Amino acid sequence: KTRLIRVDPLHPEDEAIAEAAALVRQGQLVAFPTETVYGLGANALDAVAVRRIFEAKGRPANDPLIVHLAGAEWLSRVVASVPPEVGILATRFWPGPLTLILPRNAAVPSEVTAGLPTVAVRVPAHPVALALLRASDLPIAAPSANRFGGVSPTTAEHVWQDLAGRIACILDAGPTPIGVESTVLDLSTRPPRILRPGGTPREALEAVLGPVAVWEGASGGGAQPSPGLLAKHYAPRARLILVLGGEAEALTARVVDIARTLSAQGERVGVLLTDEDARRVEAQLPGVSLLALGSQTDLTEIARNLYAALRQLDAQGITAIVTRDFGSHGLGLAIRDRLRRAASEVVTLSPEP
Ligand code: TXA
Ligand code: MG
């Protein structure tokens, strides 16, 4: 009973958007592409509709959602007050993969914010998402359109695999261009801090704001600023072993060691590396599913391919995935964060970078 509607990613057809927007206005769930991952959308101002998101995903109610807006001019529909930095951040980064944590107003049901006094907001940089927001004329609450805890969807097929039969409609505009979720930024602290690294690099934020901290996760020892930021998340079914804390060559050599050992023990092993790594070590990994994610010189390509690769290895019946850290520049920080959360085991070569 889930409708799959194909739309042009750059020039979405009016009828398709009107149909999806009508469903949103009726309180139904619509999965739609953003520039990061597919979102599972509902009218953010309707508590009943928002509860359907949690049911469809199997998501605990203490995990707050991101509210998507058509533009910064919609902020006053959901936000009580706007700190001074928001103007420049919105000008520079919206539409785009940056989510801001701001004080919520009374129009936002507590289901959206998990009872927090703040609301997460962003303006997505995808023509289909923006068209849906404008046509429905509603702020749309949307987490990633996957079952809770699993790998986020970067294609409509991924959404279908996870949520068919549980939601009204999927707008299919092909693969999402960035492939990892938005950066979540908390402006209530000095310096501002990244709660979740994502599609907007830390360096880009620092160019505008000056120093920006990165919340180090539960392992950092501090109190958890948001109940949704669980350690284990974004995980494939296979167990994932992450090697970090060293130069690319040393990390890759250890990945190869571990993969060969597990393979010799009879496990079905998958390995994720850069194109350059893969060419170098391919011959050492007979019988292993080796996927090249992209060039070491282009972390955006690695980010774009990561989730589909994890899903592909699961679909092949792989039991153990071995991969490495790709550094912390640009999208590297987001990739590291997701791999850490997906990992059942982290192998550290030298003190962490
Ligand atoms: O790219 C994205 O951000 C995608 C697309 C669909 O926009 N959405 C997404 O949503 O990743 P979700 O629900 O999977 O992740 C929302 C993140 C969680 O880490 C949650 O803890 C955080 O935002 N968050 C939401 N509201 C918050 C709040 N009031 N305070 C702190 N963190 C919050
Ligand atoms: Mg998610």
**Stated pTM of the model:** 0.95
pLDDT of residue 229: 53
Is residue 101 within 6 Å of ligand 1 at its C-beta?
yes
Amino acid 248 reads: A
What does residue 234 show for φ and ψ, rounded to 5 degrees?
55, 30
Is residue 64 within 6 Å of ligand 1 at its C-beta?
yes
pLDDT of residue 202: 98
Spatial distance between the Cα atoms of 66 and 151, rounded to a whole number of angstroms: 17
What is the number of the ligand closest to the CA of 229?
1
> Which of 30, 68, 167, 226 best tests ligand 1's pocket when mutated (most atoms within 8 Å of CB)?
226
State the residue for tokens 């890759």. 252
pLDDT of residue 350: 77
What is the number of the ligand closest to the CA of 39?
1
Show the tokens assigned to 95. 């539409």
Query: Residue 341's Cα: distance from chain center in Å?
Result: 12
Is residue 146 within 6 Å of ligand 1 at its C-beta?
no
pLDDT, tens digit (0-9, with 9 covering 90-100), for 45-91:
999 999 999 999 999 889 999 999 999 999 999 999 999 999 999 99
pLDDT, tens digit (0-9, with 9 covering 90-100), for 269-322:
999 999 999 999 999 999 999 999 999 999 999 999 999 999 999 999 999 999
Is the predicted ipTM greater than 0.85, yes or no? Answer: yes
Spatial distance between the Cα atoms of 184 and 265, rounded to a whole number of angstroms: 41
What does residue 223 show for φ and ψ, rounded to 5 degrees?
-65, 150
Task: Tell me, in angstroms, the distance from the centre of ligand 2 to residue 249's CA.
Answer: 32
pLDDT, tens digit (0-9, with 9 covering 90-100), for 17-35:
999 999 999 999 999 999 9
Cβ contacts of 85-90, under 8 Å, gap ≥ 24: 85/187, 85/192, 85/209, 86/187, 88/208, 89/185, 89/205, 89/208, 89/209, 90/123
Is residue 116 within 6 Å of ligand 1 at its C-beta?
yes
pLDDT, tens digit (0-9, with 9 covering 90-100), for 156-186:
999 999 999 999 999 999 999 999 999 999 9
pLDDT of residue 234: 82
